[in-house]
Amino acid sequence: MTTFERAVLIVNPVSGQARGLRLGQSLRGALEQRGVFCSLKVTGGQGDAREWAERAGREGFDLIIAVGGDGTVGEVVSGQARAGDKIPIAVVPVGTANVVALALALPFFAGMALDTILEGRCLDFDVGYLPEHDRHFFLMSAIGYPARVIKDSPRRLKNLFGIFTYLGAAFRNALKLDEFRIFIEDETGRVRELEGGTILLSNIGKIGDLNLKVTPYTSAHDGKFDVTVISSRSLWDVLVVLFRMLTWRYRPTTRLHHFQAESVVIATDPPVAVQIDGEDLGDTPLSARIIPAAVRLIVGSRYHADAEKDGFKWEFKLPRAWLRHKSRRS
């Protein structure tokens, strides 16, 4: 169990249909009862969380708590990656999708958040960096179809309809899928020419509790991106690829291409939309590189750093009583 003395709570007040501020205030009270000094900071706009996370070490904090959605977490991670302090980051999910919390196997009940913060394990994680934008990302950069879904999911609709905003945007955009030419150069100088409708540049691409992995090798601890190019000309193609991800069937197909790289330069013809960690970032081209073990996060008890240990393992075992009976008879 890690002992913390000074914590900064970075709260997005509009996350989770405005539940973030109430939860942040409740957490501050609970931590102070346990002798942890707390400073509560409420974001007022983009960049606040990044700035406060970057200054946390200089201001003497030994714990950062991000109360909000994936966008808030992304800013906190970016601030810490820039500072290089490796102050433990705890994530308290109150956003719309909360993909980071799912990936880290964190609890979604407010009452369990405190126990995870005080008793959870701290692990180092890789972070993606976009030098031309001077931006970091934690989950992934997505190009094409997923970026259009993000563009069609404005904050006002997410506040009203939550996760259904993404589902509606995903369905609408799946009815008008377009493919484009793709050129990807990795750190070795090799250039791959492909066609597809989606490019995923994944740092974290697995959710063990949902048995979902974007690729069979995705890990946030191996110093590499997982690059996935998906060809999807119809809604049926999207469903087929999703089924393969859910069932871990990754044999080569015309719909799904995958490789790993430490850095990439991605260009498309024509230019298409880009997003990082659920935030619009304009259009291609895009340059990115991985920064190994750049930040430290608190993970849930079910999180496994080893990709092979995640997910559901179907295994048939004979009852012990039957085995003993069979042994006696033989």
Listed by start position, the domains of the chain span 6-119, 135-293
CATH topology of domain 6-119: Rossmann fold (3.40.50)
- What class, spelled out in words, does domain 135-293 have in CATH? mainly beta
The pLDDT, as a whole number, for residue 241 is 65
The pLDDT, as a whole number, for residue 220 is 92
The pLDDT, as a whole number, for residue 107 is 85
- Which segments of the chain does DSSP mark as H helices, in order? 15-18, 20-33, 48-55, 70-83, 99-103, 110-119, 145-151, 155-161, 164-174, 235-247, 320-329
Nearest to 181 by CA among 277, 287, 284, 262: 284
pTM recorded for the entire structure: 0.82
Mean pLDDT by 10 residues, the chain (330 residues): 88 79 91 95 94 97 94 94 96 86 85 86 96 92 76 61 60 70 96 91 74 71 91 66 60 75 96 87 94 96 66 36 42
The pLDDT, as a whole number, for residue 79 is 96
The pLDDT, as a whole number, for residue 252 is 57
CB neighbour list of residue 252: distance below 8 Å, 6 or more residues apart: none
The pLDDT, as a whole number, for residue 251 is 59
- Which segments of 203-319 does DSSP mark as H helices, in order? 235-247
**Nearest-10 Cα torsion for 316, 319, 323, 328:** -160
